[in-house]
Every structure is written in structure tokens, then in C-alpha cells.
Amino acid sequence: MTDLAAPCPDIRTNRLPHEDYQANFGDCHPALTRHEARVEASRCYYCYDAPCVEACPTGIDVPGFIRRIATGNLHGAAVTILDANIMGGMCSRVCPTEILCEQRCVRTQADQHPVAIGALQRHATDALLARGEQPFRRAPDSGRRVAVVGAGPAGLSCAHRLARLGHQVTLIEARAKPGGLNEYGIAAYKTVDDFAQREVAFILGIGSIELVTGKALGQDVSLTDLRQSHDAVFLGLGHNAVRALGVDGENLPGVRNATDFIAQLRQADDKAQFPIGRRVVVIGGGNTAVDAAVQARRLGADEVTIAYRRGKAQMSATGDEQDWAQTNGVALRLHARPRRILGDARGVQAVEFEDTREAGAAFTIAADMVLKAIGQYFLPTPLQGSRDLEPLEIDRDRIVVDADRQTSLPGVFAGGDCITGVDLTVTAVEDGKIAALAIDRLLRG
């Protein structure tokens, strides 16, 4: 099927004038000015038993912090937020507020226009982080030491809360930089100016957290070791595997995991030097697919198509994310299941799809690059080192935990993407917080 006359895949750098990269990867939702924040804050009704508080996975006292902004008590606003959610800064940038707090804002009902809770949250937390101060004090040293594995949102949240409660923390991270997907996953235009690292520095600023990077559980250290050397362990391992399509051509050059593509793009200092195909097909229907597709467009790809096997309503990307893809000129192809990827040693040329509504109907979409975004999952390999004799209970690729986020092994807790539940930064932060509080009770019990 290899067509020698077919042109080489068109993948290259510098597709756009240099200044366009600046704009395309700058802040997609610029911060509110002080005036905008005051005006927006004054829209909050300061509800009693406010539905938005409940809709926030970390239970931030939303009316409370917005009132503080309105009265000019910006510091108090930030502390109110960070007390419930130490990553209030990142969450204000990446939370899908349209399905969380803002969806439940009573003004959505009153005048179809919720208070911009996320933007206000950013206004308050940015101000505090800019001053570089740590508003929380550590409780007197408990003499206990806890190992936290994975410096993503779950692990960092857990570590900070443990430190606040007076415990010593060893934070073990396999990658070179801490932050987890805040550093390697979130779309570049959502978190500009190295915000992920600035926030990590802020979190570590509480002290008594020893960060060890470049060390992996299962390779450099085992769970058994950690349980021996520490009083408790928290696992915030995230996902570590990507689902495969299982079709021919999946290993052709130019076919990549969307998460790897995104991670590399996040680390690229000069986006103009990042190679991108002229025609890009993204396979999947979630927010990762949207992030990959939009960033491909913003790198200068001419034609970017998201191909998803079911209908719009089944897509896990939120309505706002779908709109965002559309405004960025991404085409959406529904009911399209990939049958095989066409190409040769030089690279990919097209993806052949079948129409899931009509047996036998097929079509192809030409592509220079294919990004797979059909889901990540957790492989328990790090927990299956030779010395870990007691197995952790796993169910459908996720670590099983109770309400306290304790696993089947006493003293071992887990949270974030590696446990059952929605995969969001904010839920990972909440898991870490809940686990830390439970660990504290356990250690003081």
C-alpha cells in the first residue's frame, strides 16, 4: 500500500512569524486588573450555604474570599483560598470552572452570567505569590516522617499539609522537575511565566519538605523500604501509561502520544523550534485531545482535526473546551474510529477511519502527524518490586482507597489520578489534603 509517489510528511519548525508564537503561547485568559476584580467581586451575592462552595472539590469558601477582595482585603482572600487549596493559583488557571463552582453560581440562574470565580481566585492568589510570602506556619515538630511519592498536585498538596501539621516530609519525584502534570501536561497558554515552578517553590517554602528528584519508586526505592524508613507513605503517582489504539501503523514515525507531545512542548523554551505537521489528526475526545489539537494549531499546523469515535455529547471534553477548540480553528470529526494508520518509513500519510454509525463506511483523513489521546491509566509496576511482598489492592487500573484515601496497606495512602475518581488538578489537591489530615490523625492517634 506504500505509495512511493506520495510526498514526504510535512513536519517542520518555524511555520509562523516569530512574534506569533509569543501571542499564541501567552496567557490565554489574562489576569484581571484591580478594577476589574473589584467590579466582578461586587457581583457576588455572598450567598449563605453557597452552592459554589459545594461544587469546589476542595470546598473553598468562595463567597468569603470574594467578599475579602471586594473590601480590599486581598491578603485575607488569598489565605482563605490557600487554606482549603494550596494550589489555588494553578486551579484558578486550569479548573474547568464551567462544570465546577461557576456552574453552581446562583447568578448563572439569576442572569446567565456566573461570577468569574476562577479569575477572582487568580487575582487574589497571584498577589500573594508575587509577594513571595508563606502565609502558613508549621505546627511544632511531631518527630514523625512521611514519604510522599510523586511531586504532582496530589503529592505537593499532601506534603504541604503534612508540613503544616508539623511532620517531616520526604518528597520523592522521578522526573527532573517537580509539579507533575502542572509542569508537563497543562496547556502552555494556561500557565505562563513558569507559574508551575513558582507555585512549587511557594509550596515548598513552608519548610521541612525534603524534595528528592530523579528518583523513582520501584527502581531506586521500594514501597517496603519507604514503609520501613517512614511513619506513613502517600502515593501520588498519577498515570504512567497511555492507552494504545491497537491498529496497524501505530508505530509509524509521526504517530505520537498526545501527552508526550504536550510534555515536550511545555519544556520547549522556543516554540518556533518545535516541529509540527502541516496536517495533524488528534484521536480522542477528552481535554487532552483538545489541548493537543489547539496547541498544534497554535504552532502553525494548517489543518487540525480531532477525530472521536462517538457523538459530541459523549465527549469528555467540557463544552467550554469544545468551544475553545472550535475558536482555535480545530475541526471536529465525530463517529470516527481509526481503522489503520497509513504511511511508510518516512512517516505517516493518513488515517483511515470507519464510521461508527454505519457498518462498513470508511474514509481517510490526510495527516503528517497523528497524536493519540485516547486515555492514560495507572500501571502498578512501581509497587511490584521484588521486595514488595504485600500487594496493594488495585481495581481497574486504579489504586483502591477508602474515604481517608488509605489503601489496602495500613499506613499507605494514595490520591490523584492513580486512584478512582475524576482526573483533575483540583481533585488531586483535595486527595492530598484529605490524606494528610488522615495521616496526621493516624500518627497522633
Partner 1 sequence: MSSLISNFVGIKSPNPLWLASAPPTDKAYNVVRAFKAGWGGVVWKTLGEDPPIVNVSSRYGAIGFNGAAIAGFNNIELITDRPLALNLAEIKQVKRDWPDRAVVVSLMVPCTEASWKAILGPVEDTGCDGIELNFGCPHGMSERGMGAAVGQVPDYVEMVTRWCKQHSRLPVIVKLTPNITNILLPARAAKRGGADAVSLINTIQSITAIDLDRMAPEPVVDGKGTHGGYCGPAVKPIALRMVAEIARDPECRGMAISGIGGISTWRDAAEFIACGASTVQVCTAVMHHGFRIVEDMAEGLTTWMAGKGYTEVRDFCGAAIPNFVHWDDLNLNYKTLARIDQERCIQCGKCHIACEDTSHQAIAARRDGAERHYEVIDAECVGCNLCAHVCPVEDCITMVPVDRGLPPRTWKQHPNNPMRQDAAD
Ligand X SMILES: Cc1cc2nc3c(=O)[nH]c(=O)nc-3n(C[C@H](O)[C@H](O)[C@H](O)COP(=O)(O)OP(=O)(O)OC[C@H]3O[C@@H](n4cnc5c(N)ncnc54)[C@H](O)[C@@H]3O)c2cc1C
Q: Which is nearer to ligand X, 342 or 369 (CB)?
A: 369
Residue 330: CB atoms within 10 A of its CB come to 23
Residue 395, Ramachandran bin (φ over 0: left; ψ between -120 and 50: alpha; else beta): beta
Q: Which does 153 bind (CB under 5 to 8 A by kind): ligand X, partner 1, none?
A: ligand X
Minimum CB separation of residue 359 from ligand X in Å reads 33
Q: Contact 152/180 with Cβ under 8 angstroms?
A: yes
Nearest to 98 by CA among 384, 354, 282, 324: 324
Q: Which does 38 bind (CB under 5 to 8 A by kind): partner 1, ligand X, none?
A: partner 1
Q: Which does 85 bind (CB under 5 to 8 A by kind): ligand X, partner 1, none?
A: none
Minimum CB separation of residue 114 from partner 1 in Å reads 11
Find residue 212's DSSP bridge partners.
172
Q: Which does 41 bind (CB under 5 to 8 A by kind): partner 1, ligand X, none?
A: partner 1
Minimum CB separation of residue 102 from partner 1 in Å reads 14
Q: Which does 149 bind (CB under 5 to 8 A by kind): ligand X, partner 1, none?
A: ligand X
In the chain, the amino acid numbered 298 is R
Q: Which is nearer to partner 1, 49 or 358 (CB)?
A: 49
Minimum CB separation of residue 49 from partner 1 in Å reads 5
- How many CA atoms does the CB half-sphere of 79 hold within 13 Å? 10
Instruction: Give the three cell numbers for residue 410.
Output: 495500613
Nearest to 378 by CA among 398, 394, 351: 398
CA distances from 282 to 331, 356, 363 (A): 10, 17, 16
In the chain, the amino acid numbered 93 is R
Minimum CB separation of residue 129 from partner 1 in Å reads 25
Q: Which does 185 bind (CB under 5 to 8 A by kind): partner 1, ligand X, none?
A: ligand X
Minimum CB separation of residue 48 from partner 1 in Å reads 3
Q: Which is nearer to ligand X, 80 or 170 (CB)?
A: 170
Find residue 352's DSSP bridge partners.
340, 364
Q: Which is nearer to ligand X, 44 or 292 (CB)?
A: 292
Nearest to 111 by CA among 37, 43, 35: 43
Q: Which is nearer to ligand X, 11 or 95 (CB)?
A: 95
Q: Contact 424/55 with Cβ under 8 angstroms?
A: no
Q: Which is nearer to ligand X, 9 or 153 (CB)?
A: 153
Can you give the length of the chain in residues?
445
Q: Which does 151 bind (CB under 5 to 8 A by kind): ligand X, partner 1, none?
A: ligand X
- Collapsed DSSP state (helix, strand, coil) of residue 109: helix
Q: Which does 155 bind (CB under 5 to 8 A by kind): ligand X, partner 1, none?
A: ligand X
Minimum CB separation of residue 189 from partner 1 in Å reads 30
Q: Which does 174 bind (CB under 5 to 8 A by kind): partner 1, ligand X, none?
A: ligand X
Q: Are strands 276-277 and 11-12 parallel, antiparallel or unpaired?
A: antiparallel
Distance in angstroms (rounded) separating the CA atoms of residues 43 and 348: 52
Q: Which residues contact 393 (CB under 8 A, 6 or more apart)?
A: 399, 400, 407, 408
User: Which residue is listed with cell 519538605?
Assistant: 209
In the chain, the amino acid numbered 281 is V
Minimum CB separation of residue 41 from partner 1 in Å reads 8
Q: Which is nearer to partner 1, 104 or 271 (CB)?
A: 104
- Collapsed DSSP state (helix, strand, coil) of residue 366: strand
Interface with partner 1 (CB under 8 A): 38-39, 41-42, 45-51, 54, 70, 104, 106-107, 109-110
Q: Which is nearer to ligand X, 288 or 407 (CB)?
A: 288
Q: Which residues contact 332 (CB under 8 A, 6 or more apart)?
A: 305, 306, 308, 312, 322, 325, 326
Minimum CB separation of residue 416 from ligand X in Å reads 2
Minimum CB separation of residue 411 from ligand X in Å reads 18
Q: Which is nearer to partner 1, 51 or 275 (CB)?
A: 51
Instruction: Give the three cell numbers for residue 122.
Output: 487568580
Residue 49, Ramachandran bin (φ over 0: left; ψ between -120 and 50: alpha; else beta): left
Nearest to 309 by CA among 349, 264, 355: 355
Q: Which does 47 bind (CB under 5 to 8 A by kind): partner 1, ligand X, none?
A: partner 1
Interface with ligand X (CB under 6 A): 94-95, 149-155, 172-175, 180-181, 185-186, 190, 216-218, 236-238, 240, 259, 262, 287-288, 291, 382, 416-417, 423-426, 428
Q: Which is nearer to ligand X, 349 or 406 (CB)?
A: 406
